Structure 1
Amino acid sequence: MKLLTTVCFILCVGAPLAVAKTFDCTFPRQGANEWIRSRIVVKLEDGNVTVFDSLINQEKGGPIPARVQTNTDKRLTLRWKLKDVKTDLGYGPSLNYSLSYFKQRDKATANLNAPGLEVLNDLGVSPEYLSAQGSCKRR
């Protein structure tokens, strides 16, 4: 009986707990205050995913939930949204983000669809779609 109790203790208590996966993604051509920030941190834990960057910190004060669109051996794609964002860059009524992390190459693409974005580019029009290329490191 004592052996059975010991085996159960080792199997039950010694079993690994759910391990969080954190990806630190950097986009070197993005400035610290761009609509797509130069660093985005993704955390997956117990079936939940959160994202965090300096704009999210400014608007929400901490990580926010994201929705997993794809999670395969090759790619993880997430989506999240920020509403009514005011910065020195302008105003974004609805900022719709996606981030794709290509696991086998540690590469990442961040995209922003921002209808109604109020900021003028060099051509005198507001961009509705922005994209950035970078990489992610697992920590």
Structure 2
Amino acid sequence: MVHNYQSLIETALIQPEPQRLLFVFCRAELPDDASAGERAAFQRGEGGALTPVICVDKAPAEVTRFHDLEMESRQTGQDWDVVFVAAMSGRAGVAPASEEAQQPLTMMVESIRLGHVASYLPLNRRGQTINLDQ
């Protein structure tokens, strides 16, 4: 069971085929036309919309520590609240190349924009899994 970033990396590294991880970093935002109730809920950390601001693909061995991934994200100057993670499996012992990840990463960003996030692992800024159904 994956319950944090470290267990994600450990799981990815023991898969029968090499993996490539897809990351989409999102910022929680409140629509301009939000009601007073929605604004109050947002202030409590509830509701809002998740807007993708950064996307990247990495081999698990490139980002074994969440701290390194988080530090790299800071270099973009984009603030974020949640990162969604997905994995791609290689074939015949060969990991997917970064070029192969571009279309799935684009599809992942679009899926998140539409609010379809159930297929992805959401992590907070500390690398812990979060429940978005609350």
Q: TM-score range by the shorter chain?
A: under 0.3
Higher-Rg member (1/2): 1
Structure 1 or 2: more strand by fraction: 1
> Greater RCO between the two (CA within 8 Å, min separation 6)?
2
Structure 1 or 2: more helix by fraction: 2
Scaled by the length of structure 2, the TM-score of the pair is 0.25
